[in-house]
Structure 1
Amino acid sequence: MFHSIERLAVEEDGEGDAVLCLHGLGGDSNTWTPLMPALAGYRVIRPDLPGSGRSASAGGTLTMEKLVEAAANVCARLNVSRAHVLGHSMGTIVAQHLAAAQPHLVRSLSLFGPLLAPSDTARTNIRARGEKAKAEGLRGMHEIALALVDAATSTDTRQRQPVAVAYVRESLMRQDPEGYARNCFALADCKPATVERIAAPTMLVTGDEDVVAPPQAVRNMAERFTQARSLRTVILNRCGHWTPIERPEDCARELRAFLPAQR
């Protein structure tokens, strides 16, 4: 089922306990398509967040607060009072803020390529990427996509998974340059959520070649979730930052083990 909620494109599939899927920068609802078999038996809600995918025209200036508000509003409009929340990359930051601000809404967190916030160096690079997209349009997005395929996917993915590489290229190249730029600026300016307040069971999944969410940084991040009722950290081999795309079988296995335990 397709919904248009305040200019956001939202897909809804299945019945059961709600699962809200929040993609990352340069992603859209299709980031989660490889994991849909693992979510059979759930009511899966996949928005294209403001400025991304088919929701490129939604909103003006973006901030992390507006992204969180958009996610919460999707739940409210679809009468979801409690949901398992999945996030990838920037979507993990949105998910953490949502869990800290509305603990009654978030039943569990499954975070892929997770980070609390970009490092200072990363903020500078993300802001520069946004400026390039804004100034150069589709040509800029083409160059950004090629650079990120090399930087953000694993060697194994690039050598042995041409379909995964094609997806990452397509996902980035198809973004509206202005919308992508607005998301870059929102991410570059965001602050970490107060994760020490999050009680929801949490799973953190990253790749051993993830340069955005390196394994040691994710282990350090896990130490901040001091109130989580349960906590699991998973490092996937031969995997970069596009975890659900590069290692869908491994991510699906982890979800099948994690989500039923939180019912």
Structure 2
Amino acid sequence: MTLTREDSGIAAADVELAVEDSGGGFPVVYIHGLGGSGNVFEAQITALTDFRSVRIDLPGSGRSGVPQGTLSIESMASAVSRCLSALGITRFCLVGHSLGSLVCQALAVREPTRVAAMVLIGAIAEPSDAARTGLRSRAALARRVDMAQIADQIVTGALSRASRASNPAAVVAVRELIMRQHPEGYARTCEALSEAQAYDLSGVTAPVLLIAGGADPVSSAETSRFLASKLSDARLAVIEDVGHWIPIEAAQSCSNLIAEFFSERGIAR
């Protein structure tokens, strides 16, 4: 298949991925988290205009198709890798949020020479036993009820109190993202995350920026600090009074941190 920059869908295994590819310069690939889509990073893409931005809706999420079989972090990473190869992108930066941070870790471990730098936002090492049980329960719930009920739970449980009180646009954005998920795709993504295991990051040499929310009830700053300790070249930035949906809750601060990191590291434009 011949691809152009205008293509909105790319076949990856048994599913078509929704892809938005815009701008020029060095490629930055954006990988969203559970319940998200490429739209999570709208503010960051708008701010980082010197780069080629590639945002991919993972299999089963957003506007991408729902695969026939089960999902895993590894299968998502493989789908992203095939997508980038189809676009002719051999080397790139990664920006991943939440579950997307695990997909980024998988890519960096498997294909370290392709990754020039990495930004992990609200990063996950691996779910706790309690989180694994909760994710499986949420998958069952997604198959039984309207996604609006799950959306309300996510807004209450994942955004900070400050965001809920003073940032209604963030509340609306997150709620809308969740409500637009395909229930079965969302359920399978929950199950994939529930089975995720920590990666051995000792072979990752690319510089890494970890951005954590100071009021993140899903993945604390301590998790990001732990991941930073496993990487050879990492720094951590904590944004206070922000919950788990950092790219939306703290859009400007998150964008500024990424831009400064790329500039400091001399990422080619």
| TM-score, with length taken from structure 1 | 0.95
Identity percentage of aligned residues: 37
Write the distance in 2 (CA, Å) between the matches of 1:170 and 1:87.
20
CA offsets, 1:112-140, max 9 Å, x none?
1001111111111011101111233xx2x
Counterpart residue identity of residue 258, structure 2: L
1:66 pairs with 55, 72, 75, which one? 75
Moved over 2 A (4+): 56-60
Aligned to 2:88: 79
Q: Give yes or no for contact 1:38–1:255 (8 Å, CA) kept in 2.
A: no
Please list every run of 5 or more consecutive structure 1 residues that lacks an aligned counterpart in the other structure: none
2:10 pairs with 5, 18, 26, which one? 5
Aligned to 1:104: 113
Counterpart residue identity of residue 213, structure 2: G
Q: Give yes or no for contact 2:22–2:53 (8 Å, CA) kept in 1.
A: yes
Aligned to 1:187: 193
Aligned to 1:259: 262
Aligned Cα RMSD in Å?
A: 1.1
The alignment status of 1:245 with 2:266, answered yes or no, reads: no
Task: Decide which moves more: 122-131 or 58-67.
Answer: 58-67
Write the distance in 2 (CA, Å) between the matches of 1:47 and 1:163.
23
SS at match of 1:41: coil
Equivalent runs, 1:21-32 vs 2, <5 Å: 21-32=30-41
CA offsets, 1:137-194, max 9 Å, x none?
xx2x211110110110011110111111000000001100000001001110111121
1:235 pairs with 235, 238, 261, which one? 238
Write the distance in 2 (CA, Å) between the matches of 1:245 and 1:262.
26
Greater share of helix: 1
SS at match of 1:11: strand
Counterpart residue identity of residue 74, structure 1: C
The alignment status of 1:150 with 2:156, answered yes or no, reads: yes
Q: Give yes or no for contact 1:107–1:262 (8 Å, CA) kept in 2.
A: no
Write the distance in 2 (CA, Å) between the matches of 1:195 and 1:127.
27
Write the distance in 2 (CA, Å) between the matches of 1:117 and 1:110.
17
Aligned to 1:19: 28
Give the paired residue count. Answer: 257
Q: Give yes or no for contact 1:8–1:58 (8 Å, CA) kept in 2.
A: no
CA offsets, 1:206-235, max 9 Å, x none?
10111111112221221111x3xx311011
Write the distance in 1 (CA, Å) between the matches of 2:212 and 2:141.
28
Equivalent runs, 1:85-234 vs 2, <5 Å: 85-136=94-145, 139=146, 141-225=147-231, 227=232, 230-234=233-237
CA drift of 1:59 comes to 4.5
Write the distance in 2 (CA, Å) between the matches of 1:134 and 1:89.
22
CA drift of 1:58 comes to 3.9
Counterpart residue identity of residue 56, structure 1: G
Write the distance in 2 (CA, Å) between the matches of 1:128 and 1:197.
35
SS at match of 1:45: strand
Q: Give yes or no for contact 1:23–1:29 (8 Å, CA) kept in 2.
A: yes
| TM-score, with length taken from structure 2 | 0.93
SS at match of 1:19: strand
